[in-house]
């Protein structure tokens, strides 16, 4: 039976954003480890590690690779329902194929996804070793105007060589908090989303604990319609239902325009009421930062001032003026 944590990891993989991947052959590849990840790939030098997500991007090639670290036990969930979930998410021509060159436990899928901005070819690898598992996505937009788009064989060659390092690569964040109050950083998901939890000894896992999350957007496009974006992000919160806004406000944080919202909702996983605080900051350099605090409804009034103070202490590592 799928555990709550494993289910979150399995379905988080399905939510990895659409990107473009093209690679130029005849360019010497080198092994490089994704930031905040165990995943190691062999890639041409034009691909650069990203801070907005765990993966790589090449502007010249119009290409992106995304990776997600997983607990080892999450692998079995993909074997039973991943192909069906892809189809349910709107992917077409989903097919499981052999990936020559790999001798570990792995699954390889090809699929296509049609979106308002075009069709994307997807190459999906899930694999594991004795300690952990990983999910790697290569996405290709066939209509992208580049000289040498990644071929079917090229994508398979990259995934055939994907491996896991013994230690996670740590990368400096492009932001920091001046105030963390009763919270401490606990974990990182998908290389960029940081989870903060209460400063207390680790105890048996219990649902309903207050959390604070910072998630940079993957998109580099300058944000337009800050209020609309904030409201849409809140309304489309996948973990919650019966969302009801209770407060909204314009803010300025570290020179960035922001829009804060508070709301009540029901947690889908356990049916219990929660309070949610969200601040979306428009980064003038492109993209945005989404800051979220969640607590059980009875505790939310206590933690809301903390969430606001933590969000207000957000600073970019490199000032906007530089």
For the chain (322 residues), the mean pLDDT of every run of 10, in chain order, is 51 40 49 87 81 74 81 85 81 89 92 78 92 90 64 86 88 81 79 80 62 84 85 88 93 93 91 94 87 94 95 82 52
- Amino acid 223: pLDDT: 79
- Amino acid 71: pLDDT: 87
| Same domain membership, residue 206 and residue 112 | no
| Same domain membership, residue 125 and residue 189 | no
Residue range of the domain that includes 56: 4-164
Q: Does some domain include residue 143?
A: yes
- Amino acid 8: pLDDT: 47
- Amino acid 292: pLDDT: 95
| Same domain membership, residue 182 and residue 160 | no
| Same domain membership, residue 142 and residue 210 | no
| Same domain membership, residue 302 and residue 255 | yes
- Amino acid 143: pLDDT: 54
Count the domains in the chain.
Answer: 2
d(CA 46, CA 23): 9
| Same domain membership, residue 267 and residue 218 | yes
The DSSP code sequence of 137-198 is EEEE-TTS--SSPPPHHHHHHHHHT-EE-SSPPP---SEEES--TTEEEEEEETTTEEEEEE
| Same domain membership, residue 157 and residue 25 | yes
- Amino acid 40: pLDDT: 93
Sequence-ordered list of residues with C-beta below 8 angstroms from that of 171, at least 6 positions apart, any chain: 35, 36, 49, 51
- Last residue in a domain, options 107, 137, 164: 164
| Same domain membership, residue 195 and residue 131 | no
| Same domain membership, residue 219 and residue 156 | no
């Amino acid at each position: 039976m799928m555990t709550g944590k494993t289910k979150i990891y399995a379905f988080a993989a399905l939510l990895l954003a659409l990107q473009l991947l093209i690679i130029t052959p005849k360019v010497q590849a080198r092994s490089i480890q994704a930031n905040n990840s165990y995943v190691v790939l062999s890639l041409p030098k034009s691909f650069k590690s990203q801070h907005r997500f765990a993966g790589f991007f090449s502007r010249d090639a119009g290409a992106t690779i995304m990776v997600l670290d997983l607990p080892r036990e999450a692998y079995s969930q993909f074997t039973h329902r991943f192909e069906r979930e892809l189809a349910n998410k709107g992917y077409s021509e989903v097919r499981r194929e052999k990936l020559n060159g790999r001798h570990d436990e792995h699954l390889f899928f090809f699929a296509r996804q049609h979106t308002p901005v075009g069709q994307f070819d997807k190459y999906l690898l899930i694999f594991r070793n004795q300690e952990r598992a990983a999910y790697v996505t290569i996405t290709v937009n066939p209509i992208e105007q580049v000289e040498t788009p990644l071929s079917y064989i090229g994508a398979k060659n990259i995934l055939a060589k994907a491996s896991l390092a013994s230690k996670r690569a740590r990368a400096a964040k492009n932001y920091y908090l001046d105030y963390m109050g009763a919270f401490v950083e606990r974990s990182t998901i998908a290389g960029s989303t940081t989870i903060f939890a209460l400063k207390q000894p680790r105890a048996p896992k219990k649902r309903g604990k207050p959390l604070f999350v910072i998630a940079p957007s993957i998109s580099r496009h300058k944000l337009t319609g800050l209020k609309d974006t904030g409201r849409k992000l809140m309304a489309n919160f996948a973990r919650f239902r019966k969302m009801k806004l209770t407060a909204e406000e314009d803010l300025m944080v570290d020179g960035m325009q922001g829009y804060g919202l508070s709301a009540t909702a029901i947690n889908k996983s356990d049916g219990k009421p929660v309070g949610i605080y969200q601040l979306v900051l428009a980064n003038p350099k492109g993209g945005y930062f989404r800051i979220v605090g969640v607590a059980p409804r009875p505790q939310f009034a206590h933690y809301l001032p903390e969430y606001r103070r933590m969000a207000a202490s957000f600073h970019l590592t490199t000032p906007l003026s530089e």
